[in-house]
Amino acid sequence: MFARAIKASKSSLNVGIGRTNKHCSPQWCPPINRYAHHRSRVPVIPHTSIKIFREIPELREWRRKQLVDYRSVGLVPTMGALHEGHISLMRMAAAENHRVVVSIYVNPTQFGVHEDLDSYPKTWEKDCDILRDLDKELAGDGKNLGSVAAVFAPTTNVMYPSGRPSQEVDGKGSFVTITPVGELLEGASRPTFFRGVATVCMKLFNIVTPEKVYFGQKDVQQTVVIKKMVKDFCMNTEVMVGETQRESDGLALSSRNVYLGARRRKLATTLSKVLRVAEANYLRGSRSRDELLGPARELARLLLMEQHQLQPQERVKFEVDYISLADPDTMEELEEVDESKGAILSGAVKMLPVEASQPGEDLGLSGGPPVRLIDNIILKPVK
Ligand SMILES: Nc1ncnc2c1ncn2[C@@H]1O[C@H](COP(=O)(O)OP(=O)(O)OP(=O)(O)O)[C@@H](O)[C@H]1O
Ligand SMILES: CC(C)(CO)[C@@H](O)C(=O)[O-]
Ligand code: BAL
């Protein structure tokens, strides 16, 4: 969250300023005119049949047609700045549904007041190129049931018709809260985060009415919150979870990795290394919190100490927010893993900005602001 400081490129600004909605800044509004298809009311991504819906009524009309035609619909919610993690969810959805809807919406209510909503990466044109390439790939692969049929890219006016609600913790508004799970871990660090996520996902599910919804394991607590919301509100959809996509050295893909720069990028694998130590101990038979998390915390301490011994021009400082061993259904902390249920190992680390840069050093986009990284490993049941 700390690292969303990219500014829209000049070209994306240019395409955005034709007819922007007063409730959305020109930087991030998908262009309305540019992709207009002459014979259709609904624009499409060029060289594809992927429809771009900006309004709810048109999307609902399209959705009704899919229902009448017995076509299943899968939804992949995203905040854009698409990468291979998102694409893997779309591939999964295309394998199991006739029509895949991808939502691209940077949801204000999940950002705390001091978080960087305004600078969250907005890469609409690049996202369209990625979707076009995926469209070609899926068309050439006979194993899929369907393909990406539509992008839903609403404005905040559409998503919050009574006006944009407060981002304050005690702010008023129509919110969905899923507690206590939404208050733990990520929710403790970002108190309005899961309220915003549950609220926007409830809206997206109500609008798209998908048979299945797709979320990434990288945001594991989010999957637990969404599953609980679907269960507790008797929602008619199935929550599917796609595995975390990683770089070859183990770093989980994330839109925010672009802010790391070369020096911090090398150390960004710290969290996955630390979690893997705990996983290795689980696989060797350890079950208690101390046996699992003790050595993991020790590795984090040693890696940080190593950095502190370096010169400011060379070192990377980071802060461990949490390392957790939690119940897979509630995210509550465990003293002992129940072998029949397994557990979730998760963590969050804040990579601090470099203290002293070297001449010409790549510090990451926007000068390398603080970057909060999250990751997790599922400890599978053994019985
Ligand atoms: N590396 C990944 N592997 C699998 N799924 C992912 C990965 N990264 C993100 N996702 C999933 O994609 C969906 C949309 O996520 P989002 O748009 O927030 O991307 P992100 O990379 O997590 O961005 P952020 O910088 O906000 O964390 C979520 O369900 C998320 O879990
Ligand atoms: C699910 C989501 C799209 C809701 O805004 C967001 O939290 C995300 O990208 O993980
Ligand atoms: N993938 C989680 C979205 C967020 O950090 O706001």
In this predicted model, what pLDDT tens digit does every residue of 36-53 receive, in sequence order?
Answer: 444 458 999 999 999 999
Q: Specify whether 194 is located in the same domain as 309.
A: no
Give dist(CA 75, CA 162) in Å, integer. Answer: 25
Q: Specify whether 167 is located in the same domain as 230.
A: yes
Q: Specify whether 85 is located in the same domain as 200.
A: yes
Give dist(CA 144, CA 139) in Å, integer. Answer: 8
Site of tokens 């991808």: 102
Q: Specify whether 82 is located in the same domain as 207.
A: yes
Q: Specify whether 235 is located in the same domain as 282.
A: no
**Within a domain: residue 249?**
no
Q: What percent of the chain has pLDDT over 90?
A: 84
Residue that finishes a domain, picked among 192, 208, 242: 242
Count the domains in the chain.
Answer: 2
Residue 86 falls in the annotated catalytic set: yes
Model confidence pLDDT, tens digit, residues 276-286: 999 999 999 99
Q: Specify whether 327 is located in the same domain as 221.
A: no
What's residue 114's pLDDT? 86
Model confidence pLDDT, tens digit, residues 76-108: 999 999 999 999 999 999 999 999 999 999 999
Residue that finishes a domain, picked among 218, 242, 266: 242
Which residue puts its alpha carbon closest to atom 3 of ligand 3? 79
Q: Using the atom order of ligand 1, give the atom closest to the CA of residue 243.
A: 4
Q: Specify whether 181 is located in the same domain as 326.
A: no
**Within a domain: residue 110?**
yes
Model confidence at 30, pLDDT cuts 50, 70, 90, reads low
- 316's CB contacts (< 8 A; 6+ apart) are 263, 264, 266, 267, 307, 351, 352, 354
Owning domain of residue 17: 10-242
Q: Tell me, what CATH number does 84's domain have?
A: 3.40.50.620
> H/E/C letters for each residue in 228-266?
HHHHHCCCCCEEEEECCCECCCCCECCHHHHHCHHHHHH
Q: Specify whether 263 is located in the same domain as 237.
A: no
**Within a domain: residue 2?**
no
Model confidence at 119, pLDDT cuts 50, 70, 90, reads confident
Q: Specify whether 237 is located in the same domain as 282.
A: no
219 Cβ inside 6 Å of ligand 2: yes
Average pLDDT value for the chain: 90
Reference 77, options 281, 300, 237, 264; nearest CA is 237
Least confident residue range of 1-10, 57-66, 134-143, 182-191: 1-10
Q: Specify whether 213 is located in the same domain as 164.
A: yes
Q: Specify whether 228 is located in the same domain as 263.
A: no
Q: What percent of the chain has pLDDT over 70?
A: 90
**Within a domain: residue 247?**
no
Q: Tell me, what CATH number does 347's domain have?
A: 3.30.1300.10
Residue that finishes a domain, picked among 196, 213, 242: 242
Query: 237 alpha carbon to ligand 3 midpoint, in Å?
Result: 22
Query: 114 alpha carbon to ligand 3 midpoint, in Å?
Result: 15
Q: Specify whether 205 is located in the same domain as 299.
A: no
- pTM for the full model? 0.91
Model confidence at 117, pLDDT cuts 50, 70, 90, reads confident
Helices 289-308, 270-283: inter-axial angle, 10-degree rounding: 150
Mean pLDDT, range 250-274, rounded to an integer: 96
**Within a domain: residue 5?**
no
**Within a domain: residue 116?**
yes
Report yes or no: 50 and 101 within 8 Å, Cβ to Cβ: no
Which residue puts its alpha carbon closest to atom 4 of ligand 3? 1
**Within a domain: residue 3?**
no
Model confidence pLDDT, tens digit, residues 162-184: 998 889 999 999 999 999 999 99
**Within a domain: residue 248?**
no
Q: Using the atom order of ligand 1, give the atom closest to the CA of residue 219.
A: 31
ipTM: 0.98
What's residue 3's pLDDT? 37
